[in-house]
C-alpha cells in the first residue's frame, strides 16, 4: 500500500470545493537485528526487504552475497511496523558497532550520525572507462518517469532508478524518502545478485552527500539528479570518481564532477 485517499478543501481563484486527494503513505518501520533494535526509518510501505538489504549494505553491516532471513514481528493495518533481521553475529560488519540512534528520518542523510568520522567512506576511487552522451540521459529519464506510478497518483513520492552500461533499466523504486528509494534499488539488485551491472543511478530529487556515498559503496559511477546537488555531494563525487549531474530536465543538465565521462550531443 503506497497511497491513501484523504479528504481536503481545494481553493482555486477564491472558490473552494471538498475533494478526495491521493497522498503517498509515510509510515515508521523499526528494524531489529537479532532481536535488538537498530533503527527506525520513515518509509513508504512495500519493498521493505529491498530497503533493509540496501540500508544494511550501505551502513557496512551486512555485505555477504547470501541473503539473510527476516521475520515480521508486528503489523498495524497490515503494514509491517517491526521487522527483525536474522544475521549470524560473526557475519555482522563493523558498521554494526556504530549503531544509529533509534530515530532516523528519511529526508535527513546525517540523522543518527553522532561524530564527524561517522560520515567518512573508505575505498578506492571509482574509474569509469566508457563515455556516454547527454541525449542518453534524457532518454533514460523518460523511461524512468513512465514507471513512477505512486508519484502519478499522489505527487508526493521520490524515485530512484538504476540502469546498466547498455542504458537498460535494471530496477526502479519509489518512496517518501530519497535515501530510501536509493536503498530499495540497491537492495533489489543485491537480492537479484546483479548489482555489478549497475552503471547509472537516476534520482527524482536533489542529491546530498549520503546518496553519493551510497552510490560509491555500490560502485555506481554515474549519478543523475532532476534537482540540485549539495556542496558536500559535489566534494564527495570528485573525491570518489563519480560523475555527478544535476538539474536534468527540459533538455538541460549541469555537470558538477568528472565531466570527462560525458560527451555533449
Q: How far apart are CA 40 and CA 132, in angstroms?
A: 39
Instruction: pLDDT tens for the chain, 265 residues: list them.
Output: 678 888 776 767 667 778 787 888 888 899 999 999 888 888 888 899 999 999 999 988 998 888 898 999 998 888 899 999 999 988 988 877 666 544 444 455 444 444 444 555 667 788 776 777 878 888 999 999 999 999 999 988 999 999 999 999 999 999 999 999 999 999 999 999 999 999 999 999 889 888 999 999 999 999 999 988 888 888 888 889 999 888 888 778 888 888 888 776 5
Q: How far apart are CA 229 and CA 232, in angstroms?
A: 8
The secondary element (H helix, E strand) that includes residue 14 is none
The model carries a pTM of 0.83
Q: Where in the chain is the domain with CATH 3.40.140.10?
A: 132-263
User: For residue 129, what are the contacts with CB-CB under 8 A and spacing of at least 6?
Assistant: none
8 marked among binding-site residues: no
206 marked among binding-site residues: no
Q: How far apart are CA 67 and CA 265, in angstroms?
A: 42
Q: How far apart are CA 139 and CA 65, in angstroms?
A: 32
Backbone φ and ψ for 25, nearest 5 degrees, come out as -80, 135
248 marked among binding-site residues: yes
Which CA distances in Å does 199 have to 87, 126, 217, 223?
29, 11, 13, 9
Q: Which three-class secondary structure state does DSSP give residue 96?
A: helix
247 marked among binding-site residues: yes
Residues annotated as catalytic are 108
57 marked among binding-site residues: no
Question: The CATH number of 132-263 is which of 3.40.50.150, 3.90.25.10, 3.40.140.10, 3.40.50.300?
Answer: 3.40.140.10
Q: How far apart are CA 13 and CA 225, in angstroms?
A: 34
Amino acid at each position: 500500500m503506497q497511497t491513501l485517499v484523504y479528504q481536503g478543501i481545494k481553493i482555486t481563484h477564491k472558490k473552494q470545493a471538498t475533494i478526495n486527494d491521493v497522498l503517498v503513505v509515510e509510515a515508521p518501520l523499526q528494524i531489529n537485528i537479532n532481536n535488538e533494535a537498530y533503527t527506525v526509518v520513515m518509509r513508504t510501505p512495500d519493498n521493505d526487504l529491498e530497503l533493509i538489504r540496501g540500508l544494511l549494505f550501505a551502513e557496512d553491516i551486512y555485505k555477504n552475497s547470501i541473503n539473510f532471513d527476516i521475520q515480521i514481528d508486528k503489523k498495524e493495518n497490515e503494514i509491517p511496523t517491526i521487522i527483525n533481521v536474522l544475521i549470524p553475529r560473526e557475519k555482522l560488519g563493523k558498521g554494526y558497532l556504530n549503531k544509529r540512534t533509534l530515530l532516523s528520518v528519511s529526508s535527513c542523510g546525517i540523522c543518527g550520525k553522532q561524530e564527524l568520522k561517522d560520515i567518512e567512506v573508505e575505498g578506492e576511487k571509482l574509474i569509469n572507462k566508457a563515455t556516454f552522451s547527454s541525449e542518453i540521459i534524457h532518454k533514460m529519464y523518460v523511461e524512468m518517469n513512465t514507471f513512477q506510478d505512486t508519484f502519478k497518483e499522489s505527487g508526493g513520492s521520490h524515485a530512484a532508478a538504476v540502469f546498466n552500461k547498455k542504458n537498460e533499466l535494471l530496477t526502479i523504486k519509489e518512496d517518501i524518502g530519497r535515501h530510501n528509494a536509493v536503498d530499495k534499488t540497491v537492495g533489489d539488485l543485491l537480492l537479484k545478485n546483479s548489482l555489478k551491472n549497475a552503471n547509472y543511478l537516476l534520482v527524482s530529487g536533489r542529491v546530498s552527500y549520503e546518496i553519493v556515498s551510497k552510490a560509491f559503496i555500490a560502485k555506481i559511477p554515474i549519478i543523475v539528479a532532476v534537482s540540485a546537488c549539495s556542496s558536500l555531494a559535489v566534494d564527495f563525487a570528485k573525491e570518489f570518481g563519480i560523475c555527478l549531474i544535476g538539474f536534468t530536465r527540459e533538455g538541460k543538465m549541469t555537470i558538477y564532477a568528472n565531466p570527462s565521462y560525458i560527451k555533449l550531443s
